[in-house]
A and B are shown apart, each in its own frame.
Chain A
Amino acid sequence: MDLQYFIELLFGGLTRGSIYALIALGYTLVYGIIGLINFAHGEIYMVGAFTALLVAGWLGYIGFPAGGILLVAALAAVAWTAAYGFTLEKVAYKPLRSAPRLSPLISAIGMSIFLQNYVLLAQTSDFVPFPDLVPEMPFLASLGDVMGPTDFLILVVSCTTMLVLVFWIRYTRTGKAMRATAQNRKMAMLLGINADSLISVTFIVGSALAALGGVLIASHMGQINFNIGFLAGMKAFTAAVLGGIGSVPGAVVGGLVLGIAESMTTGYLSGNYEDVLSFCLLILILIFRPDGILGKKQVQKV
């Protein structure tokens, strides 16, 4: 029984951690390439969830076959959110590339507030129910109730996405160009890489991932609200830093570690301490490894 409980908590943690990882990847990719903490990223995740909800509702209204609604809504959410990310970068961050360090940060906080209230005013401040679109998966019962259909979906989708992303960054031209720009932008530009378009690509990819996370969580929770971006964003950011900000595998590791730690805390200690422990864990890890779990040691050039 105890082992069963442990495995259940583990899988619960993996579910949670996958969501954190998806959002954390967005933070880490953006930080890697322009050194900015994109505070509005949590709101991008929220916009993804809302877009999926609205498109799904509209499709249901016009009588689209029920089986395909989730897929189409998810694709629509990813597309539109990627566009939001792209626009966000062009409007709020690009003009500030040469400004003092803290200015883009404040701009990001401002955009975060703006996006939250934009959705609040355009839609509603109340919680909105998300339709149950995930099909029943009877084969999961045989696994001993360790996870439900949405958990399974989250795990499968996140794993696939992350694998594709890692592959893409490592082996494709664009991925290599991104890594080059992250390492040294001026040098990359000298070598003919269009840094501007690569930065846009980074934002697009990051936002697409966050949107996916948003859709998955909306299905999992059954409800969304203009405020969901805040806590999820903060936790994901913590996860990214935990794993070493700027490192793609770091974001994944950080997300999963954080998710599992939270799940275990609730399962074995108390739900009260869940959040406190996450932040304490972060501080502890940073004391012993100031660059995060997988972070590269930063050499300061004089």
Chain B
Amino acid sequence: MQRIFKALVAALWFMVLCAPIMGLLLLPDGTASFRWQRLAVLGTGIFFASLLWQWYFEKKERGERLFGGKAQAEEPVHRESLLRNKSFQRISLACVCAFMIAMPFIPGINSIYQITIWISALIYVMLALGLNIIVGLAGQLVLGYAAFYAIGAYTYGLLYQFFGLGFWVCLPIAGIVTVLCGLALGFPVLRLRGDYLAIVTLGFGEIVRLVLINWDSVTNGARGVSGIPRPALFGCPMNMQWSTTYLYYMSFLAVVVTIVVITRLKNSRVGLALQAMREDEIASEAMGINLTQVKLTAFALSSAWAGFAGVLFAAKTSFINPSSFTFWESAMMLSMVVLGGMGSILGVTLGALILVLAPEYLRAFADYRMLLFGATMVVMMIFRPQGLVTGERRHYRISALERKGD
């Protein structure tokens, strides 16, 4: 009964709250009308949402108190055990790979459109994985990642425009240029605490974008760089379908390489140092980790991946201009990492795929697309703040200790 009362209060509160913006409509001829129906619908919706909300949080609280933490721990472990099962992992991985490789040949889903959006998705997976290095593994909040993406794309675009260099030549060059920029950003921010670092990277992202817009003579400003060629297969010309498919395989290969490299990185000395730094800077410094070196390495590696992704992007759309590299892109990439589960490669990949493909497949909801997107982010964080897949932590089992009993 008390719950219903609370829900009623919530519904009424929201109705009053949203009265001006949802309820009032000013018509161009100077009249104002009040839209009761909208508010009524809102009220009903909030009523039921509130009941659900209360039920969920009460359950959460009760669960903790009654079972003293055991119930909380049991659930994730059980789910994790399925994911951790090695043979399950290998089989599903193989299935997915086979599907991805075969996709351009399966009629019904091998239209240029499908392949194109998958290329988009794969590029974002690369970006999310790259961002994961610095946000997920190293724990440094970077809000201007799109800047490196832009630098990579423009390196290819401008090198093509001024020197006629091709895709394969520009790919490593873009990587090097982006790494240099990453280091250039890394040096001044070494001393900054987490949130200051965030705003500086945000500022860096904006500076890069503004320079691209204003430095007309070199970057063509808002007009952008067009006619960027796609990678060629030994110089033979391809029609639309084949060149798209070729680019798709390239992106797929790039993502596979990325996943392999980052997995190895995670378990290497550098990766462990990054994770130690994320957990506790002072403790890791006390253990002998050179923070400066590690932070710079993180910046460098992370930005390199954005550079490669940028080159792929430039090849995919054949035209780049600064409006593709705004803060919202950076925010999207950050969301992919956090929603997917920081530090977890599988989670981040899933996060990227969902956030890129869902708006495409849900084109029917186009009007409400961004609204749902924002709401989903909030809801996901409230109900599962650790992300889709929890970043795995290494467990060390010391059998000697276990045998003696706790």
Stretch of A7-15, A55-63, A172-180, A202-210 at the chain-chain interface: A55-63
Asked if A302 and B282 sit within 8 Å, CB to CB, the answer is: yes
Residue of B nearest to A114 (CB): B374
Asked if B374 and A117 sit within 8 Å, CB to CB, the answer is: yes
- Flag B389-401 by CB within 8 Å of A: 1 or 0 each: 0000000000000
The CA of A84 and the CA of B17, in the complex, are separated in Å by 7
Chain A binding site: helix, strand, loop or mixed by DSSP? helix
Asked if A107 and B195 sit within 8 Å, CB to CB, the answer is: no
Judged by a CB distance under 8 angstroms, whether A290 is at the interface is: yes
Judged by a CB distance under 8 angstroms, whether B200 is at the interface is: yes
Given contacts A107-B382, A109-B334, A286-B189, 12 further A-B contacts (CB under 8 A): A51-B21, A55-B24, A92-B381, A106-B339, A107-B381, A109-B331, A113-B377, A123-B21, A234-B202, A238-B199, A275-B210, A302-B283
- Picked from A60, A62, A234, the residue with its CB within 8 Å of the CB of B327 is A234
Asked if A118 and B26 sit within 8 Å, CB to CB, the answer is: no
Residue of A nearest to B141 (CB): A102
Given contacts A290-B193, A290-B196, are A118 and B207 in contact (CB under 8 A)?
no
Complex interface: chain A residues within 8 A of B13 (CB): 87
Complex interface: chain A residues within 8 A of B327 (CB): 230, 234
**Of B13, B17, B21, most A-chain CB atoms within 10 Å:** B21
Complex interface: chain B residues within 8 A of A80 (CB): 17, 20
Complex interface: chain A residues within 8 A of B377 (CB): 106-107, 109-110, 113
How many residues of chain B have a CB within 8 Å of chain A? 61
**What are some 5 contacts across the A-B interface (CB < 8 A)?**
A61-B26, A107-B381, A113-B371, A234-B202, A272-B214
Complex interface: chain A residues within 8 A of B26 (CB): 53-54, 57-58, 61, 128
Asked if B342 and A114 sit within 8 Å, CB to CB, the answer is: no
Complex interface: chain A residues within 8 A of B210 (CB): 275-276, 279
Judged by a CB distance under 8 angstroms, whether B376 is at the interface is: yes
Asked if A47 and B21 sit within 8 Å, CB to CB, the answer is: yes
Asked if A51 and B199 sit within 8 Å, CB to CB, the answer is: no
Asked if A276 and B207 sit within 8 Å, CB to CB, the answer is: yes
The CA of A80 and the CA of B378, in the complex, are separated in Å by 22
How many residues of chain A have a CB within 8 Å of chain B? 68
Judged by a CB distance under 8 angstroms, whether B198 is at the interface is: yes
- Picked from B192, B196, B371, B386, the residue with its CB within 8 Å of the CB of A117 is B371
Asked if B20 and A110 sit within 8 Å, CB to CB, the answer is: no
**Of B38, B199, B342, B378, most A-chain CB atoms within 10 Å:** B378
- Picked from B192, B375, B385, the residue with its CB within 8 Å of the CB of A103 is B385
User: Smallest distance from the beta carbon of B100 to chain A beta carbons, Å?
Assistant: 28
Residue of B nearest to A107 (CB): B381
State the A residues within 8 Å of B (CB): 31, 37, 47, 50-51, 53-55, 57-58, 60-62, 76, 80, 83-84, 87, 91-92, 95-96, 99-107, 109-119, 121-123, 128, 230, 234, 237-238, 241, 245, 272-273, 275-276, 279-280, 282-283, 286-287, 290-292, 298, 300, 302
Given contacts A102-B342, A272-B214, are A55 and B141 in contact (CB under 8 A)?
no
Asked if A117 and B188 sit within 8 Å, CB to CB, the answer is: no
Interface residues of B in 154-203 (CB under 8 A from A): 188-189, 191-196, 198-200, 202-203
Asked if B20 and A54 sit within 8 Å, CB to CB, the answer is: yes
Residue of B nearest to A274 (CB): B210
- Picked from A50, A113, A279, the residue with its CB within 8 Å of the CB of B374 is A113
Complex interface: chain A residues within 8 A of B335 (CB): 106, 109-110
The CA of A249 and the CA of B171, in the complex, are separated in Å by 48
